[in-house]
Amino acid sequence: MTAHATENDQVIPPMPERTPKALRAAIAEHVPVLLPDFDAHWKWAIADAYDVGPLWAFMAFWWGEYALARDPKLDAHVRDLEYRAGNACTDINEAKALLEEAARIRHRMRAVEPGE
């Protein structure tokens, strides 16, 4: 796995193996601002769980969060869409379109494969 550059030479780190340990290490290295929330969510949702059922939802959520956060420009774009929908729109249809675009991007991020 190697980092790849975007059109404007921004280096985006690759996705890690699809395990909680590898994902946590990638978050710690590349977007440590997410680490406190990741750890708190882990402790709340997984650490005391007696089955692995919640693990899949946890991994899907944090996989997408890391995939987005590792690309600061895309992350800023999604946050701008969400901000505009909630704070700058007076037209419900425009707000809905902005949120749908943000949701499509977030959904696409959850599908990114290890190494990409």
Work out the average pLDDT over 45-57.
86
Residue 2 has pLDDT above 80, yes or no: no
Alpha helices in 1-48 (DSSP H): 20-30, 35-42
Instruction: Classify residue 99 as exposed, middle or buried by CB count within 10 Å of its CB (0-12, 13-18, 19+).
Output: middle
Work out the average pLDDT over 39-57.
89
pLDDT digits (tens, 9 = 90+) for 20-43: 999 999 999 999 999 999 999 999
Work out the average pLDDT over 45-73.
92
pLDDT digits (tens, 9 = 90+) for 64-104: 999 999 999 999 999 999 999 999 999 999 999 999 999 99
Closest CA to 8 of 71, 69, 68: 71
- Model-level pTM? 0.84
| Per-residue confidence (pLDDT) for residue 1, from 0 to 100 | 44
Residues 6 or more apart whose Cβ sits within 8 Å of residue 33:
69
